[in-house]
């Protein structure tokens, strides 16, 4: 049974990925003899899999190349993933999966499309043995976009695959290499035994020229390339075991589920914070209602009112008669009535005080009690202020009337407004207390659910770490985590919620990341 060693080849646009595959294809199907390559008398023994400017006549008829315009080096020449099977011997085949180049002039969106194509192609096979990264060794550094792509691969591809990496540096030898491949060592832990330098400038040779130092340099570079490929093939065929592609399917299915669990966890915690805020509002409302009850617990209020007290006043019948008659007078007989009234009044006085006209000597012989007339000389101010009682006959003749007098009265009455406020506040306290009890039960349910979600999150993250220990789950959920942190910062008393947040961050944080938790008031993006 034929054994297949399968590798995916990735690289930046213009890095020499297609030239590398051509070199590998020629290594197995063309010639390794330098004289057969540079002999102008006969057709070159070179065999190519991918069209190359000036060498189109040597492309194998069985080639399945997807190259486009070979003259435009600003765009990826490979438009889709293509597999090339290189027969090592009767029982062994080396399969290279060529992929579209990254970081070309078509933009980042095309890189995303290319990545989707690559993953689709990899899921179509049962296993892989590793990754071959092709980079231009003559430049100082790898392009930013390709660095991002490599970091993304490290996050989304299984550890078992990203640990099986070889690096091919083109357009240089070990001495002339300019590239700082620290990023490759950091991401994929490649060592010198897995880094190969291939000048591979054969396809820049003008096939009509076979003299001079340049021609000799081309011959020497070809021989060096064959030697380097010998070493590379030895590593590819012997150092890397099969890696099942089930992990790709598992990641593509499980990672979204894990992220969904994380989002559910964060959403529940945000909901719990909402209940704490609601609880605080209810407690404030209860305190306000109780204060209203205290302010209105004095239901009685003192009032001062002005009352009318009717006092009984004696009246003279004759004067009443005169008064009654007077009320009936008209303007025509006013003078007559006044004269008549005056006469009657004088007669009344004379009857009561017969002695008043006597001489002073006679008056002096009388007792004060015998004269009550106010015109009497014997009637002093003292006697006038203490008038004697009238005779019995006079008492019988006097009628009484009532006179209205104002009196200030102090009353204690119920304050209906205070009673109403107290009653409303008491009902509010009862309602809010019931609501507070409901919120307490809701919080308890949410905390129980959070505990279960945290346990589920631990399990989910552990599973994904087993597939890929480098996936940045904090970065993938930064928006939700930032929202969560903002909710905590706006909560006066988080009541233990920050513990859930810290636990979540601890679970999501990659063991290799040195990220620190954001300080209070700081944004997630400044620290993570």
> Model confidence over 278-288: pLDDT tens digits?
888 888 899 99
Mean of pLDDT over the chain = 76
Residue 470 has pLDDT above 90, yes or no: no
Highest mean pLDDT among 14-28, 155-169, 464-478: 14-28
Residue located via tokens 């021989």: 223
Q: Give 403's DSSP letter.
A: E
Is pLDDT at 486 greater than 60 in this prediction?
A: yes
Q: How confident is the model at residue 148 (pLDDT cuts 50, 70, 90)?
A: confident
Q: Are 411 and 302 in contact (CB under 8 A)?
A: yes
Residue 103 has pLDDT above 80, yes or no: no
Task: Identify the pLDDT of residue 381.
Answer: 45
Are the C-beta atoms of 210 and 38 separated by less than 8 Å? yes
Note the pLDDT tens digit of each residue in 397-445.
556 677 888 888 887 878 888 888 888 989 988 998 998 888 888 878 8
Residue 203 has pLDDT above 50, yes or no: yes
pLDDT at 61: 66
| Contact (CB, 8 A) for 101 and 12 | yes
DSSP conformation letters of 39-105: -SSS-----BSS--TT-GGGB-TT----B--TT-TTS-SB-S-EEEEEEEETTEEEEEEE---BS-T
Strand ranges (E), 239-279: 243-244
Instruction: Tell me the mean pLDDT in the region 441-469.
Output: 81
The DSSP element (H or E) to which 413 belongs, if any, is strand 399-414
pLDDT confidence of 170, banded at 50, 70, 90? very high
What is the pLDDT at residue 273?
Answer: 76
How many H-runs (helices) and E-runs (strands) does the chain carry? 17, 10
C-alpha angle 230-235-239 in degrees, rounded to nearest 5:
160
- Burial label for 197, CB within 10 Å (0-12, 13-18, 19+), is buried
Q: Does the pLDDT at position 12 exceed 50?
A: yes
Residue of higher predicted confidence among 65 and 293: 293
Least confident range from 41-50, 88-97, 169-178: namely 41-50
99 vs 5, residue with greater confidence: 5
For helices 497-508 and 416-467, the axis angle rounded to 10 degrees is 10
Looking at residue 28, its pLDDT comes to 94
Please name each of the domains of the chain with its CATH number: 3-241 (3.40.50.300), 256-294+420-508 (no CATH)
The end-to-end CA distance of the chain, in Å, is: 51
Q: Which of 44-48, 221-225, 319-323, 364-368 has the highest mean pLDDT?
A: 221-225
pTM as predicted: 0.56
pLDDT at 344: 58
Predicted pLDDT of residue 422? 85
pLDDT over 50 at 508, yes or no? yes
């Amino acid at each position: 049974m034929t054994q297949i060693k399968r590798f995916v080849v990735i690289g930046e646009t213009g890095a020499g990925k297609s030239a590398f595959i051509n070199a590998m294809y020629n290594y197995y199907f063309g010639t390794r003899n330098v004289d057969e390559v540079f002999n102008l008398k006969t057709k070159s023994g070179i065999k190519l899999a991918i069209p190359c400017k000036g060498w189109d006549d040597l492309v194998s008829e069985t080639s399945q190349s997807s190259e486009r315009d070979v003259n435009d080096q600003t765009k990826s020449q490979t438009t889709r993933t293509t597999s090339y099977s290189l027969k090592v011997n009767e029982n062994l085949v080396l399969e290279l999966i060529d992929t579209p180049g990254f970081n070309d002039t078509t933009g980042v969106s095309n890189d995303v499309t290319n990545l989707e194509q690559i993953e689709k192609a990899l899921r179509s096979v049962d296993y892989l043995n590793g990754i071959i990264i092709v980079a231009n060794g003559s430049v100082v550094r790898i392009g930013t976009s390709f660095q991002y792509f490599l970091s993304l691969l490290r996050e989304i591809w299984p550890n078992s695959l990203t640990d099986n990496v070889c690096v091919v540096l083109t357009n240089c030898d070990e001495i002339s290499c300019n590239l700082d491949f620290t990023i490759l060592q950091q991401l994929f832990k490649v060592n010198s035994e897995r880094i190969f330098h291939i000048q591979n400038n054969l396809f820049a040779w003008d096939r009509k020229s076979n003299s001079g130092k340049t021609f000799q340099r081309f011959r020497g570079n070809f021989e060096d390339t064959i030697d380097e490929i010998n070493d590379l093939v030895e590593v590819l065929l012997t150092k890397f075991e099969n890696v099942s592609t089930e992990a790709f399917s598992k990641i593509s299915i499980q990672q979204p589920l894990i992220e969904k669990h994380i989002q559910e966890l964060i959403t529940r915690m945000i909901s719990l914070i909402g209940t704490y805020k609601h609880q605080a509002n209810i407690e404030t409302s209860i305190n306000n209602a109780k204060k209203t009850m205290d302010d209105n617990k004095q239901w009685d209020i003192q009032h001062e009112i002005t009352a009318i007290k009717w006092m009984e006043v004696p009246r003279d019948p004759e004067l009443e008669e005169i008064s009654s008659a007077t009320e009936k007078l008209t303007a025509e007989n006013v003078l007559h009535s006044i004269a008549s009234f005056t006469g009657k009044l004088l007669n009344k006085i004379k009857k009561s005080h017969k002695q008043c006209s006597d001489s002073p000597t006679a008056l002096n012989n009388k007792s004060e009690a015998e004269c009550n007339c106010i015109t009497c000389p014997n009637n002093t101010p003292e006697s006038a202020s203490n008038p004697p009682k009238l005779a019995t006959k006079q008492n019988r003749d006097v009628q009484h009337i009532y006179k209205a007098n104002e009196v200030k009265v102090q009353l204690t009455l119920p304050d209906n407004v205070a009673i109403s406020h107290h009653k409303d506040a008491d009902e509010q306290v009862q309602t809010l207390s019931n609501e507070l009890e409901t919120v307490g039960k809701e919080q308890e349910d949410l905390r129980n659910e959070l505990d279960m979600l945290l346990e589920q999150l631990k399990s989910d993250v552990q599973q994904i770490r087993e597939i890929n220990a480098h996936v940045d789950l904090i970065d993938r959920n930064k928006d939700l985590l930032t929202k969560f942190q903002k909710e905590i910062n706006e909560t006066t008393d988080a009541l233990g919620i920050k513990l859930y947040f810290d636990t979540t961050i601890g679970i999501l944080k990659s063991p290799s990341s040195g990220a620190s938790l954001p300080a209070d008031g700081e944004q997630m993006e400044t620290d993570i």
